[in-house]
Structure 1
Amino acid sequence: MSQEFNTAAKAMVTRDAHGTVRDVQHVEEVFVSTAGSPLLAAHEYLLRHGALLGVSPAELAHFSEAPEAEPRALGVELRYSEEKPQFDTTTVVFDQTLFGLPIWQAGVSVHLQRDPFVVVAAQSKRHAQVDADMPSADALKSATKLDKKRLTKELGIDQDKACDPSTFKVLRQRLMVYRYDPAERLAREHHDPAPTAAQTAQAAQVTAPTRHLHATLPLPPVSERVRAGRHQVVIELTFSVTWNGIADLAWVALLDVDTLSVLYLRAFIDDVNGLVFETDPITLNGGPLPSATSAQLNPLRSTVQLPELVSVAGTVSLTGPHVAVQDLEALAAAPPTRPAGSPFSYDARSNHFAAVNAYYHCDRFFHLVRDLGFDLPTYFTGTPFPSPVDHRGNIWGSTNTINAYCAGNGSYGILRTAFMLADLGDVANPIGLACDWRVVLHELGGHGILYNHVNSPNFGFAHSAGDSFAAVLNDPDSRAPDRFETFPWVYNVIGRRHDRDVTAGWAWGGVFDVGGYSSEEILCTTHFRLYRAVGGDGAELKQREYASRYTAYLMLRTIGSLTQATNPSNAEAYATAMVAAERGNWTSEDMVGGVYGKVVRWAFEKQGAYQPPGAPKPVVTEGPPPEVDLYIDDGRHGEYQFQEHFWETRDIWNRHDTDGETRHQTPIVCRPNHAYVRVKNRGTKPSKGGRVHGWHARPGAGLVWPDDFEPMTTASLSLPPLKPGEEVVIGPLEWTPIHPGHEVMFMSVTAPQDRANNDRLTGLPAAKGPTPAWRLVPTDNNIAMRALVPVPGGGGRCALEAAFCNRKFWAHNPFAKTARMEVRAVLPALLESRGWTMHFHNPGGSHFTLGPRGEREIRPVLVSGRDFSPGELADEGPATITVLVLANGIVVGGMSYRLDPELDAPARERPPAKDCCRPQPEPCNDDQRCDDKPPCDDKPCEPPKPPRQCCEPCIDDRCCPPPACC
């Protein structure tokens, strides 16, 4: 799949290997509709831009009608399938039809934001060429009269010893059109990659194979009258039958109407206050393994509440509104019950402990989805609650195996979930796999949610996103010795990882991208990169937890926008759906969308996606960047690895005069200064046009766009064309700072094909705001911010301490809710080893509470320790005093003070008295603004010091350092 910019549509399009457009992302100019409903808005959009997706106006003749139940003499059309609202967005889905019948897994989806309706993306799985013959009237009549005996024969059920034909039941039957592919008739077997030596050594007691089998039936051969690659009118038959001990297992089969040959078959299943393991023992504690004894495992148990359990006549069972633990499979292992008020407390190696974990973790998953803002009845539209769970089930006829499954009901919902064992060394005292929260996430977060949206346990390009939920949600506080083992507790059996190397074949389009589990590892690596970039690699636990929850939310929202007709068949289509989902607001968390779309694209690019036409196959390299990718370097060269100190770019600088020099000078207040910025092009094609915009803000952290920023006097300058790899310095942008302490400088570069996320032409919610800078700046390489202040490193301790005399900045709470704030000083080793400290002379000191979008003036006081020389500073390398501002544990900004060995005294920030804002307003442009500011002769340090105590020569007779300086 390759990406390019379409100038006519002003959108980024993704083409498949045949050159057909599959995805459209409106990055340059969104489509705004005045229609009164999502369906009408989507119709209006397709009339305007449908040709890009191959849709002609004639195909929209019956766009608002559902597909037909019986074939009619009609050509190829798009017909209304469903609308999927989530938060502030709606996805409108159209089925592609022939004869009025839906074509199997073919359609078009349009993603819209509401109020007004704005189309942000469209995706197509329509078939470019459709050819089929209308079946005869006799064949159609016979198809409606198929009895149980004929169906069990055609499906091979009557010949399969694993089946109980008496349990066969038809759940649904309808006519469709299907393009027959012999390779897709049955689910393909797949294998895990070869185990490592360490895994082999660990696995001595394990008999479970690494080969993964799919449920299947012994189908008769396909009639010779059915031709591969040709469309056929088929019967979509959804049925259930007990198979290999799994009761009422649901299946879907496609039978050719004329010959009754089964052309496609899939089962809706895929492998793999009480005491529980809140997380598996490896994640929680670094061990022990599941082969350990109860005495070794019991200390890892935690007491938790088991919410909403049902009590009948004083007896409590493991049943609640979302989950019911039941003995459903062949092994008799009834879940425990307890008298009301009694705890469910059992040894770790017992079926009862597994049952309690099964309830807690499965119920925990549904609560997680709800807590992330999703309405459970809407999201799990086809799942009857409470959902049955068997804590000691069986699969493939075996109860003593290390496995689990989540089965679908064939009607867009979950049938049941079952767990086997985590260890086979002592099956008389079993340890259940339901004790592993990661495995539960794989089943319910992987297959469970897919059933409800695409009516399948799998994506069209990978096994599921279950591994991704397991990896992302367990990482923030994990103590596992290897962060990248997806299932560390049972790694000797489930040896999957999420740090897979593109050059070793783990690329999209690489040798391991064959669907199934290996493609899931590639997807998990991609998702985990996204998680790391948005905070998962942060030093603060709350930052990692935020990134974990956000990534889980985005995966849920993306999958919630899919349907059976639009189940992605490749990674790039899934990425487009994720970018479209990201553009919506996370309304339950009061967070605007349109912030992380470029990071999503980059995460897939780094894993080999978006290869250009003719690129070597299989893929062993990262994908290319977008055609035009302008950036202001913040040290990451235009990429998106996590960066906590996002305010420290050196490619924005200030000069007092228009001399074009590149060395930064501390701005002088109340007089014109001159800002410059260096812009580079990381893309594969030249940029055309564009502008650089500049803003400034008073010294502060926790800033919010656009509220806290003011345009520079020269608000923008044009950008010349830039070839790939080229750079240019843009400036000067004239501006007049009015706050001492070094104002924050903020720049963005925006151009056709690569607009900044704060550019209102994008239509992104992030551009309108309010958008916290901690989310906006590090996740868009078009945007950069400088709160990097040079302080004297060449004048010894006296000069450095004096630089913080009367210094102040503002700490902002960027959230729309009250936040607990922390201001934290991080001193470089050069100072810390010499006994230097910093404290904050303001109400609350370093810890205080701020209301929604509140602020507080912060006065940092630097207390000197032993002196240092410029030579010692040079030997230590770059040294920076960083003051971090945290809100609810998340770093939301900071001020960085870099020790400059060429400065031997604090930079003078004030002009001569005659240039001050009071009493003389010139050269400020806004008299009222200047009149509101304090006069230039600010108060001296507290307490005032006699001149003789100042260092010689005095740095500033109005601002003496404290006695320690001398």
Structure 2
Amino acid sequence: MAIADEPAGHSAWNPTRHGAWSSRQATDGELTAASLRHPMSPFVRTVDRSRIATSLQNSAHEYLTRLREFGETEGLPQQWLDALGPGKDDPTFGWMPIGWPPENEADEDAGNPFVSFRLGRKTMEGAEPDQTVVLLASERLSGKFIGSGLGLSMVANLRSTAEGELNAHFIGISASFYGPDTRGLESVDWEEVRTKPAQLLAQLHSEEVKRDIASMLGLTSISVRGARLIWVDGEDEWQVERRGTGRSHSSSGEAISYFFTVVGTPKKAGKVLGRVMLQAHAVGDARLFPIDPPSQATNQGYGKSRPSRSDDELDYYRTTVSGLPYYPRPLVLSSGGHEWLRVVQCPGFVLADHGAPANSPKSVNLPGGTKPPVHSDDFAAVSAFYNVSRIFNRLAAYGLDPFAYFRIGSLPLRLAYRSGMQAGPGKDGRTVNACVQVDGWPFDFVGPTAVGDRPGMEMHLAWADMSRRERKSWNSIDPSPAEPIGIAADDRWIWHEIGHVLLVAAVGELELRFAHSPGDALAAIALDPVSQLSKKGTYWRGMTFPWVFLPRRHDRSVTNGWSWGGTMHSALARVPESTAPRRKAYLSEQILSSSLFRLYRVLGGDTMEETPDDINTRHTASHYCLFLIMQALQLLGTQPAVPLRNDPEQFVDALIDADFGATIFRVASDDGATYYERIGGCAQKVIRWAFEAQGLYAPAGTITNAPGLPPPVDVYIANGRGSESTESEPIEYGPGSYAPVSLHWPLDQNVGDPLPWQAHRNAITVEASGISVVVGNRGSEKATGVTVAVWWREWPINSAPPAWNEPGWTALPATAAQDIEAQADATFGPFQFAPASGQRFIILAKASCLADGAYIDVPARACSYMRTRLIDLVSGDNNMGLRVVTLPLP
């Protein structure tokens, strides 16, 4: 494929011949959600740096035009495509300007969420290897985007060429639009309708309608944040669905925020569809828990680490942490002129905070020694600061600037270190729980919206244990209340709540539609590399919350109903888009965490050997998976144009987009002594398979407690990864799968049995006549025109393994292409192999066809041109196979 903007390059691109896949889902009756992905065949155009916004939009319009020519935009209104053309200024549909991060934070509309946005990522050295722009287009009236959730979303990954040009790579599109029997804004003749655009816009957020909505919902004030219109003719002309946020107050006077949906007409509020509380459950020195006590490698038994133990017993698991804010400095984390987080005083729950102003920062005296006691309010406050600060610093270490990440939600994140729950039991704080609460929007969608006007968030943290409290020594003057241990001390619970925080920050919602949140997965993946539980067997490793206990796991078996197409998810899968997630979302969160934890394991998390390289592999897999999840949530932030769907495939697409957009990922360890590095673009197929193994892509319309279906064409070179052990039983996936195995590669590997991640001895054979490669097809359709390429190089004994894209590889002459039927295989070769000297060799084979290429076939993927570890390349792409052989040949 030509990488150019000339007509020749334009005509050469054909996604239907390069393995595109699409999904289409009808939601809430009239609405259709659709997506198309072709990451192995990006649409590439050169853009003008001097007018990048216009140039990107024009390239995106050309991309849309090509998709329509191929029949890949069925259902999209032609008026939309026409409205997005160069120089067009349609009154009801258009491109959202690229407006985040803002050029001027002080601008009165700098916080406007109805914009396209940039996702920049910086390396430790300050370079920006990845540049991504999420282009949005949506409905508008009189120049104001109305937040209808109808429109288009496209991700443009930008790459600089050696010649200094800037290329934009498009690998898919997401869209939300009405079905053929429903008429929207684009379908009417505005010369004929009675209510003109400006008048209609004013009616959508009129004070009279807002008063009626507030009265119906029992709220003191509301803000309309979006409106969706359907033409119904008649006197009213339009049916209007309004969505927004509102406030009321509890009996104690505490403000409570809600999200609502009502459906009516331009002049009438109508009826309530839903109302949901904006709450999701779940420098001095101090001695703190570096990680939760059960995860630490100690000689103490599990029972001795329970949160019900005494201060002295739990002190065994603490270590001294330096550099914390010391009284009178507040527990506040700031960087680059932005305050990221603050621990706030809790006057309703902590005696020492009585009378403190709302949201005022907390200070803690840290005199050293064993202070503060584990069962104390001060320990809860410092633990909250320590655990959340580490996550924010990790976000920054991944190159994701927290200020830019918080596009919808506003910084600083407030940490109520000792607090109660607004919903359910525990309003007095005496509960084992935590939650995130959102302030709500102060204004309607028409704006303007300053940076400080966006909704803030507060993490409420209650107790970690109900059975024990302890008192400080009484000084005969001040009261000495009995104080519990706070849930802020459990970093796994904090990671779960951060899942909600990141969703609000980047997407504007507290929960995913298809699961409660990604928080369980974040906790499991972040802690596994450093947890002793990962080495104690499947039962212990799969416990998501082993300390402040919850019976949730991240290794659920698909055959026991923990399937995206199965028993445990079926109830949530049927919940309409406009309805709040139900209790089943916690079950589906375990399906999500099991899918994502499997991704981490496949990318290196099962490498349990203790050599420095193997430890590095395990930590790198953790960091990269966390980065992919964080970046994917940013890419889901398309609510004004393409809303969240009750469909996990939308999240899979975002994970794949994040991997495609990454070039080099590099992060330092906490002490700066070690670097964890991975080249992007080698995880796409593993991402899909991790969810396939958990039941996604199952036959539609049936409850299936089994793995899903592979892509229609999926060629592979067999390895030793056909099955996986789960909490209940082994699952056989068959050849060509990505079952988790250790990615250990000993320097003294000899000809013996190949390692599990390497090609099976019968898949790549070496004889006097040459090298033969067996290629299979695990798909349901014929793979046509399959070709095989083979390279070799010497690998001296006890030397480090070579990398791909470095000198020394010898390519062998190709053989003829073949077709491979579904569930069949074919042998390619022999490829002549006659090295003049040497004792140990690496043979690398690649199988490709138009419907399923290898990663290194795609010039836009970083692994195709950057020095890449063979382990990452081969283990992440079943099109690749590697064998180690010695001379003399067997």
Q: Is this a same-fold pair by TM over 0.5?
A: yes
Other structure's SS at 2:626 match? helix
Is residue 702 of structure 1 aligned with residue 806 of structure 2?
no
Q: Contact conserved, 1:679 with 1:728, CA < 8 A, in 2?
A: yes
Is residue 432 of structure 1 aligned with residue 486 of structure 2?
yes
Residues 511-536 of structure 1 show CA distances to partners (whole Å, capped at 9, x for unaligned) of: 22215211111100000000111111
Aligned to 1:249: 256
What amino acid is the match of 1:420?
A
Aligned to 2:418: 392
Q: Contact conserved, 1:534 with 1:779, CA < 8 A, in 2?
A: yes
Q: Provide the rounded CA distance (Å) in 2 between the counterparts of 1:266 and 1:347.
A: 38
Other structure's SS at 1:678 match? strand
Is residue 743 of structure 1 aligned with residue 841 of structure 2?
yes
Is residue 82 of structure 1 aligned with residue 133 of structure 2?
no
TM-score by length of 1: 0.67
Is residue 105 of structure 1 aligned with residue 116 of structure 2?
no
Q: Provide the rounded CA distance (Å) in 2 between the counterparts of 1:9 and 1:329.
A: 64
Distance 1:383 1:258, change over 3 A: closer
Other structure's SS at 1:743 match? strand
Q: Provide the rounded CA distance (Å) in 2 between the counterparts of 1:66 and 1:619.
A: 50
Q: Percent identity?
A: 25
2:761 to 627, 639, 650: 650
Other structure's SS at 1:438 match? helix
Q: Contact conserved, 1:465 with 1:523, CA < 8 A, in 2?
A: yes
Q: Contact conserved, 2:683 with 2:876, CA < 8 A, in 1?
A: yes
Cα distance, 1:276 vs structure 2: 1.4
Residues 599-640 of structure 1 show CA distances to partners (whole Å, capped at 9, x for unaligned) of: 00100100111123xx45222121011111111112222111
Aligned to 2:62: 44
Aligned to 1:463: 516
Q: Provide the rounded CA distance (Å) in 2 between the counterparts of 1:363 and 1:66.
A: 46
Other structure's SS at 2:407 match? coil
Q: Provide the rounded CA distance (Å) in 1 between the counterparts of 2:555 and 2:239.
A: 43
The correspondence of residues 14-33 of structure 1 with structure 2, limited to 5 A, is 14-16=22-24, 22-33=34-45
Q: Provide the rounded CA distance (Å) in 2 between the counterparts of 1:263 and 1:178.
A: 15
Aligned to 2:646: 569
Other structure's SS at 1:486 match? strand
Other structure's SS at 1:777 match? helix
Cα distance, 1:475 vs structure 2: 0.9
Is residue 686 of structure 1 aligned with residue 785 of structure 2?
no
Distance 1:760 1:329, change over 3 A: same
Distance 1:333 1:301, change over 3 A: farther
Q: Contact conserved, 2:203 with 2:267, CA < 8 A, in 1?
A: no
Distance 1:586 1:346, change over 3 A: farther
Q: Provide the rounded CA distance (Å) in 2 between the counterparts of 1:551 and 1:30.
A: 23
What amino acid is the match of 2:702?
K
Give the number of the structure whose alpha-carbon radius of gyration is greater: 1
Structure 2 alignment gaps of length 5 or more? 1-13, 98-114, 122-129, 160-166, 186-192, 335-339, 354-361, 442-453, 470-481, 573-580, 610-614, 667-676, 722-734, 744-754
What amino acid is the match of 1:293?
S
Is residue 259 of structure 1 aligned with residue 268 of structure 2?
yes
1:581 to 655, 658, 669: 658
Q: Provide the rounded CA distance (Å) in 2 between the counterparts of 1:548 and 1:385.
A: 26
What amino acid is the match of 2:874?
V
Q: Provide the rounded CA distance (Å) in 1 between the counterparts of 2:793 and 2:502.
A: 45
The correspondence of residues 319-398 of structure 1 with structure 2, limited to 5 A, is 319-321=332-334, 322-328=340-346, 330-334=348-352, 337-338=363-364, 345-396=371-422, 397-398=427-428
The correspondence of residues 623-642 of structure 1 with structure 2, limited to 5 A, is 623-636=708-721, 637-640=735-738, 641-642=740-741
Cα distance, 1:73 vs structure 2: 7.9
Cα distance, 1:552 vs structure 2: 0.4
Matched residues, number: 702
Distance 1:908 1:523, change over 3 A: closer
What amino acid is the match of 1:467?
D
1:155 to 210, 213, 217: 217
Other structure's SS at 2:240 match? strand
The correspondence of residues 898-917 of structure 1 with structure 2, limited to 5 A, is 907=888
Distance 1:332 1:656, change over 3 A: closer
Is residue 524 of structure 1 aligned with residue 593 of structure 2?
yes
What amino acid is the match of 1:31?
F
Distance 1:568 1:736, change over 3 A: farther
Cα distance, 1:417 vs structure 2: 0.9
Cα distance, 1:150 vs structure 2: 4.8
Aligned to 1:53: 73
Q: After alignment, is 134-143 or 476-485 more displaced?
A: 134-143
2:461 to 377, 400, 419: 419
Q: Provide the rounded CA distance (Å) in 2 between the counterparts of 1:607 and 1:601.
A: 10
Aligned to 1:734: 832
Other structure's SS at 2:811 match? strand
Q: Contact conserved, 1:643 with 1:778, CA < 8 A, in 2?
A: no
Cα distance, 1:692 vs structure 2: 0.2
Q: Provide the rounded CA distance (Å) in 2 between the counterparts of 1:788 and 1:333.
A: 71
Q: Provide the rounded CA distance (Å) in 2 between the counterparts of 1:908 and 1:461.
A: 54
Residues 425-457 of structure 1 show CA distances to partners (whole Å, capped at 9, x for unaligned) of: 13533111111001111111x110111121110
What amino acid is the match of 1:327?
Q
Q: Provide the rounded CA distance (Å) in 1 between the counterparts of 2:152 and 2:308.
A: 50
Q: Provide the rounded CA distance (Å) in 1 between the counterparts of 2:783 and 2:171.
A: 23
Q: Provide the rounded CA distance (Å) in 2 between the counterparts of 1:331 and 1:389.
A: 14
Other structure's SS at 1:512 match? helix
What amino acid is the match of 2:41?
E
Distance 1:98 1:380, change over 3 A: closer
Q: Provide the rounded CA distance (Å) in 1 between the counterparts of 2:37 and 2:413.
A: 37
Cα distance, 1:320 vs structure 2: 3.0
Distance 1:560 1:10, change over 3 A: same
Structure 1 alignment gaps of length 5 or more? 1-5, 158-167, 181-224, 659-673, 791-906, 910-966
Q: After alignment, is 682-691 or 521-530 more displaced?
A: 682-691
2:685 to 595, 598, 622: 598
Q: Provide the rounded CA distance (Å) in 2 between the counterparts of 1:528 and 1:238.
A: 34
Q: Provide the rounded CA distance (Å) in 2 between the counterparts of 1:138 and 1:83.
A: 28
Q: Contact conserved, 1:403 with 1:421, CA < 8 A, in 2?
A: yes
Q: Provide the rounded CA distance (Å) in 1 between the counterparts of 2:801 and 2:309.
A: 48
1:317 to 313, 326, 330: 330
Runs of 4+ in 1 over 6 A off after TM superposition: 64-68
Q: Contact conserved, 2:681 with 2:863, CA < 8 A, in 1?
A: yes
Q: Provide the rounded CA distance (Å) in 2 between the counterparts of 1:12 and 1:264.
A: 37
What amino acid is the match of 1:583?
F
TM-score by length of 2: 0.73
Cα distance, 1:259 vs structure 2: 2.5
Cα distance, 1:754 vs structure 2: 0.8
Q: Provide the rounded CA distance (Å) in 1 between the counterparts of 2:378 and 2:85.
A: 53
